[in-house]
Amino acid sequence: MNQPKTTVLITGFGPFPGTKDNPSAVLVNHLAQENLAAARHDFRPVFEILLTDWRQMPSALLQAYNRHRPDLALHLGYAARAEGFQLETTGHNRTCEQPDIAGREGTGAPVIAGGPATLKTSLPVDELEKQLSARGLSVMHSDDAGRYLCNMAYYLALHHAPARKALFVHIPAIKTENGLFPKNHQGENHLDLAEAHKGLLAIIRALVN
């Protein structure tokens, strides 16, 4: 009898102020279109694109967890300065006042009132970094995901995810046959779409196995 596959929730973010083509959404949509759920994979992926909206994102994230009941969650976001796959270890119970896509400013309040100052993933980030580096992928880890919606999503994910089996990964711009996303990205750091696809599959397989 076949064992049930591990359900992996994979999310990206939609547009944010000044950038309508978030590379995390570009990558997630590419993975979904490439039939990542094909039988050859030893996991069952489910995909969601989150709005960069202070009010709507928390409930949308919770709904995604309740709807899919993932065994593992991988959340992606864009960081202009990331050199490759930036593995975040920690969610901070803090927000900022930067406006969201709806033009509403954040409050700077805690993500969860009365919650711990930080939540850390239970996933083996150090070992994952070594495995990816050995495969020639550009990877590093960070203990500060910022204070914007990426961090908010991560803190909430670590709060909701069973046994804190969630990981947030910041990525730089994505280069596709249609150009660079986001188009206003400054700097030489980027990932080719094929490289990003390969790296994300390597991350998932390392965590699933």
Does some domain include residue 129? yes
- The answer to whether residue 1 sits within a structural domain is no
Number of structural domains (the chain) is 1
Q: Is 93 part of a structural domain of the chain?
A: yes
What is the end-to-end Cα distance of the chain in Å, rounded? 19
Is 139 a member of any domain?
A: yes
Report the pLDDT value the prediction gives residue 186, as an integer from 0 to 100.
87
User: Do 125 and 167 touch, CB atoms closer than 8 A?
Assistant: yes
Residue 198 included in any domain: yes
* Whole-number pLDDT of residue 1: 45
Are residues 90 and 118 in contact, defined by beta-carbon separation less than 8 angstroms?
A: yes
What are the start-end ranges of the E strands in the chain? 6-13, 43-50, 72-78, 85-88, 90-92, 118-120, 139-142, 166-171, 173-176, 179-181, 190-192
Q: What single string gives the DSSP state of each residue in 9-45?
A: EEEEE--BTTBSS-HHHHHHHHHHHTTTTSTTSSEEE
pTM equals 0.94
DSSP H or E segment with residue 93? none
Residue-range definition of the domain harbouring residue 77: 6-208
Domain annotation covers residue 67? yes
Q: Which residues of the chain have pLDDT under 50?
A: 1, 37, 39
Which CATH number is 191's domain given? 3.40.630.20
- Counting runs of H as helices and runs of E as strands, what totals does the chain give? 5, 11
